[in-house]
């Protein structure tokens, strides 16, 4: 069982987000998360929206910007070992459609959350900081940058 035995794609992780149905699955996943949160009786609607936003951004940060490398061995001799999944997407080419989609979706979630929380100050601070944690690593200037050496190796 080895990577790349049936195709010459060196790192299949780069193509996962472009696969057919991935965006839809992602949207459905976020929708389901929100519905689950809404159905908990203790949370009011603004709290549910803020929680959706925060949990979604947390998950996105962990899986796209914190975890490095690939879950399988690749024949590229470890070029992708120190790269996060975001940096691996499309072999580092910026502004591809997957990157644009995953940049825009937290922004849309942020708009919805701000609307449903009626622009309340506490919720605003929470949502904005959470959005920034997920938007800043996506900027092309920060490709491969590790601030203060966090997550370098």
Partner 1 sequence: MANPSAVCNGHLHHHHQKQNNLLKSGIYKKNGITKGMKKNGISNGTLYKKTFIEHFEQAPMYVAVLTFLGFGVGTIFGYLRDFMRAWGLEKRNIAEEREQQKDFVPLYQDFENFYTRNLYMRIRDNWNRPICSVPGPQFDLMERVTDDYNWTFRFTGRIIKNVINMGSYNYLGFAETDVNALKTVTIELQKYGTGICSTRQEMGTLDKHIELEKLVAKFLGVEDAMVFGMGFATNSMNIPALVGKGCLILSDELNHTSLVLGARLSGATIRIFKHNNMQSLEKLLRDAIIYGQPRSRRAWRKIIILVEGIYSMEGSIVRLPEIVSLKKKYKAYLYLDEAHSIGAVGATGRGVVEYFGMSPDDVDVLMGTFTKSFGAAGGYIAGKKDLVDFLRTHSHSAVYATSMCPPVAEQIIRAMKCLMGLDGTTQGLQRVRQLGKNTRYFRRRLHEMGFIIYGNDDSPVVPLLLYMPGKIGAFARRMLGKNIGVVVVGFPATPITESRARFCVSAAHTREMLDTVSTA
Residues that bind partner 1 (CB under 8 A): 1-9, 12, 15-16, 19-22, 24-25, 28-29, 67-73, 81
Give the DSSP letter string of the chain: --TTSSS--S-THHHHTTSTTHHHHHHHHHHHHHHHHHTSTT--HHHHHHHHHHHHHHHHIIIIII-BS-SS--TTTTTTTTSBHHHHGGGG-SS-HHHHHHHHHHHHHHHHHHHHTTT-HHHHHHHHHHHHHHHGGGSGGGTT--GGGTT--
Name which of 9 and 120 has its Cβ closer to partner 1: 9
User: Rounded to the nearest whole angstrom, what is the least distance from the CB of residue 63 to partner 1 in the complex?
Assistant: 9
Name which of 22 and 126 has its Cβ closer to partner 1: 22
User: Rounded to the nearest whole angstrom, what is the least distance from the CB of residue 32 to partner 1 in the complex?
Assistant: 10
Name which of 1 and 145 has its Cβ closer to partner 1: 1
């Amino acid at each position: 069982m080895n990577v790349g035995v049936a195709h010459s794609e060196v790192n299949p992780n780069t193509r996962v987000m472009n696969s057919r149905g991935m965006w839809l699955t992602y949207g459905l996943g976020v929708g389901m998360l929100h519905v689950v949160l809404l159905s908990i009786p203790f949370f009011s609607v603004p709290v549910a929206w803020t929680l959706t936003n925060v949990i979604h951004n947390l998950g996105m940060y962990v899986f796209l910007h914190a975890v490095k490398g690939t879950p399988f061995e690749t024949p590229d001799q470890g070029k992708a070992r120190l790269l996060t999944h975001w940096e691996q997407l499309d072999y580092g080419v910026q502004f591809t459609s997957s990157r644009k989609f995953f940049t825009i979706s937290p922004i849309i979630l942020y708009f919805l959350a701000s609307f449903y929380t009626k622009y309340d100050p506490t919720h605003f601070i929470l949502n904005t900081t959470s959005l920034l944690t997920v938007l800043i690593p996506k900027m092309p200037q920060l490709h491969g940058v590790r601030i203060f050496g966090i997550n370098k190796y």
